[in-house]
Amino acid sequence: MLFKKRPKQYEFAKRKTSIGPNVVAIIISSVAVVLLYQDYQAPIRPSPPAIMTGNQGSIEDELDNLIVASGVDEIKIVNDGTKGDEKEEKVEEPQLTPSQLALKQIIGLYDKSHADVAAVGSYSATFIKQERVNGSLLDKQEMAGKFNNDPHRVYFKYQNYDKGREVQYKADVEPEKLLVRKGGIAGRLLGALELALDNFLVTKENRYSIKMAGLLPLMKKALDLRRNDLTAESGVTCEQIDDIEVEGIMCTQFEIRYDDPSASKAAKDYKRSLVYFNKDTNFVVGVKNFGWATDGEEEEQMLEYYIYKDVDLEKRIADKDFSKLKKRSRG
């Protein structure tokens, strides 16, 4: 069968010869006829011998014959990137800096971890945190955690600090309240107390609301900040450091630094951030953030440290695990 071919441009290189411009014009006209014939000949009822025996010559063969007959040294085929009457425009990707490449890698790892967690209804993990609240750095706290994605539910049992303390939150039942039972004898005697999320007893030990507890809220915030970092024209640097041990986990660490508070959205609160991913699984581990120095403070101060370890995405958490605490009745 015949194939339609789009006309190409041809560039003629003349041999030093006595052949005048009229001959070249004839050659060009002949080439045009060949091209038009190839491009517009109807493909209906093709000649069987030409198809079966391969006797039909290509455009290049026709050109070779013309070259021999005319004395032109060569005909050079030039591809200028045109497609018919339209030109193909090649859009070059902007050159990324090493910091931007590292930020893109962080975003990719967060996206993958977020998809893995979002694909399950619930999961368990050991949650470790240390925060600076009202200017004071609190002790590190470790708790066994159970989490439900939708509706958002959280259950914590403290492994240190006030060992045995339990915290329960169910956004679908009491979105602005939580239940807490102290550890030890006091908890057994008093039972569970219902506290508003903005109650002083709650806020004095936490930088953020319990609504931010869990891997999905952590990664949602982190993705927003890292994507904004990526758009910064200057003032943001990111470096990857391998083989950093964090809470017994070998991690890949990304260190993000900001030149000044106006560099990006994250820079308003943080001077430096350390982001951790499991070296073997690339799953998110946590983050450690440092703030800007203020009058009378050191150059930088650790503000917050959040780690999720022993994450089990296969374990299904029953509804009863988020209903262990019952509000103490009055009277």
Helices assigned H by DSSP within 176-301: 184-190, 200-203, 215-231
> What pLDDT does residue 161 have?
87
> What pLDDT does residue 21 have?
52
CATH domain 98-322 topology: outer membrane lipoprotein receptor (LolB), chain A (2.50.20)
Please report, for residues 89, 219, 222, 288, the alpha-carbon distance to residue 227 in angstroms, rounded to integers and kept in the order given: 28, 12, 9, 18
Residue 292 near residue 261, CB atoms below 8 Å: yes
Could you tell me the residue ranges of all domains in the chain? Answer: 9-87, 98-322
Q: What is the pLDDT along the chain (331 residues), one digit of tens a residue?
A: 444 444 444 443 444 444 455 544 555 555 454 444 455 444 444 444 433 344 445 555 554 554 555 454 554 444 555 555 555 666 676 789 999 999 999 999 999 999 999 999 999 999 999 999 999 999 999 999 999 999 999 999 999 989 999 999 999 999 999 999 999 998 989 999 999 999 999 999 999 999 999 999 999 999 999 999 999 999 999 999 999 999 999 999 999 999 999 999 999 999 999 999 999 999 999 999 999 988 767 678 999 999 999 999 998 999 999 999 998 765 4
> What pLDDT does residue 315 have?
87
Of 137, 107, 100, 9, nearest to 63 (Cα)? Answer: 9
> What pLDDT does residue 26 have?
52
> What pLDDT does residue 6 have?
46
Residues 6+ apart with CB under 8 A from 42: none
